[in-house]
Amino acid sequence: MKNSPLTKFIQKSIPLNKIDVEEIASSFRLKEFKKGDYFLKENQISNDYFYLYKGLMRTYLYDLNGNQITTDFFTENNIVFEVTSFFNRVHSETNIQTITDCTGYRISYEELNTLFHNKPTFRDFGRAILVKEFIASKKRVYAMINQTAEERYQNLLVSKPEILKNSPLKYIASYLGITDSTLSRIRQNIS
Amino acid sequence: MKNSPLTKFIQKSIPLNKIDVEEIASSFRLKEFKKGDYFLKENQISNDYFYLYKGLMRTYLYDLNGNQITTDFFTENNIVFEVTSFFNRVHSETNIQTITDCTGYRISYEELNTLFHNKPTFRDFGRAILVKEFIASKKRVYAMINQTAEERYQNLLVSKPEILKNSPLKYIASYLGITDSTLSRIRQNIS
DNA sequence: GATGGCACTTGACAAAAGGCAAGAAATTAA
DNA sequence: TTAATTTCTTGCCTTTTGTCAAGTGCCATC
């Protein structure tokens, strides 16, 4: 496990001595997914705290007309879990599904709490992840308020090109808050 | 301080024995604001963790054209602070300003950390607040994606009428992601 | 290499929202 | 109370985005 991507990820997030990081990282276990597999299905309780090393996932739910709305993507080198369900121990309203094959390291809710208990400074890691995702969500709200769909697309193009490369257009469209047709026209417009 | 709104708020958020709650609540100190006062100005570091007992605040920033964008409101019986700046100890990009006179109880960043240290279970309170705000932000993204401006307005009317009562229309408009003119027309349409 | 099913594009029209400016209404200050 | 300022409304026209439907291209697979 030494020098694994996970230990690097933890060390980048918070200052911790190497011995602790190794011990923490070794509590995580390898997990692999095939393209299209579900990390979480609605009505389940999100129980895995997952470091995504390779691959791409999305989270989606259904609107009142039964259409899938992709509300978020998870890219490499991020933690995947459904906050509401994971921390509040309630049934998830959303699905998390892989878009490509995925590899990473998982730990359960109970194991994470044990870790928080045994390594109090690791709590700061948990908080840092939470804060990071929260900030991302706030930026997304801001973008929805005062950017046009085209600007949002252009920004995504620059900041997360791996999404555009691997995800079907319809997922990206609903993530940007527009229809497939509009996104298709935006693309045409740019090229 | 016994049976103060703050102790009730804490007890509603997490299970804690009365003695601890009293001790925690007594670490907070009363703070009052006049209408229009700033709780936080951009470029400052958010240092107050504030339980808002009475009143209404908003957080705003400037877009590229120099227009104020109100990204969020803080209503009674909520914790007010700027996550990014408060937890990451960086300069805030946003302002938090009162819309009405406000009353509440504050604690500093250092005091909060001391409290987390002395009362480990109180950490769960901190996390619960963070999770709650995060969930609210995600719901907001979802609303921006698949609701019309009118639906978002109607929902706000039901869920947070105190905002509509006390906030100027232009703040609400940018919060909903539309212009004042459009919001004015939506209102007209409804009545 | 035909067939079916997605994924994506495109056209014609409709609906939603914005820009700008004038004016009414309300609030604040003098 | 009056004047000044801000807030809100409204009209006219433009831009953005949506809806629906048809059509193209690309795989998968049998």
Chain B neighbors of A66, CB-CB under 8 A: none
Tell me whether residue B48 is in a domain.
Answer: yes
- A185 CB-to-strand C distance under 7 Å: yes
Q: Indicate yes or no: CB of B134 within 8 angstroms of CB of A135.
A: no
B62 CA vs D4 C1’ separation (Å): 27
Q: CA-to-CA distance for B56 and A179, rounded, in angstroms?
A: 36
Q: Is A66 among the domain residues?
A: yes
Task: Choose among A40, B110, A142, B90: nearest CA to A134.
Answer: A142
For residue A13, the distance in angstroms to the closest alpha carbon of chain B comes to: 11
Does residue A95 sit within a domain? yes
Q: What one-letter code names the amino acid at A120?
A: P
CB atoms inside a 10 Å sphere around CB A148: 11
Look at residue A179 and tell me if it is in a domain.
no
Q: Establish if B38 touches chain A: CB-CB under 8 angstroms.
A: no
Q: Choose the closest CB to A177 out of B128, B138, B145.
A: B145
SS (H, E, C) B141-188: HHHHHHCCHHHHHHHHHHHCHHHHHHCCHHHHHHHHCCCHHHHHHHHH
State the average pLDDT over residues A80-108: 96
Domain of residue A28 covers 5-115
Q: Compute the average pLDDT of residues A76-88.
A: 97
Q: What is the pLDDT of residues B137-178, one digit of tens each?
A: 999 999 999 899 999 999 999 999 999 999 999 999 999 999
Q: Is residue A186 part of a domain?
A: no
Q: How many domains does chain B have?
A: 1
- The domain that holds A68 is classified in CATH as 2.60.120.10
With respect to residue B34, please indicate whether it lies within any of the assigned structural domains: yes
Cβ-in-10-Å burial (0-12, 13-18, 19+) of A40 comes to buried
pLDDT in tens, A18-66: 999 999 999 999 999 999 999 999 999 999 999 999 999 999 999 988 8
> Average pLDDT of A62-73?
92
Does residue B28 fall inside a structural domain? yes
Q: Is residue B180 part of a domain?
A: no
Per-residue confidence of chain B (191 residues) as pLDDT tens digits?
A: 556 899 999 999 999 888 999 999 999 999 999 999 999 999 999 999 999 999 999 999 999 888 999 999 999 999 999 999 999 999 999 999 999 999 999 999 999 999 999 999 999 999 999 999 999 999 999 999 989 999 999 999 999 999 999 999 999 999 999 999 999 999 998 87
Residue B14 DSSP label: S
A131 and B71 in contact by Cβ < 8 A? no
Q: Among partner residues A123, A128, A134, which is closest to B137 by beta-carbon distance?
A: A134
Residues of A within 8 A of B131 (CB-CB) are 83-84, 87-88, 130
Chain B residues with CB under 8 Å of A88 CB are 131
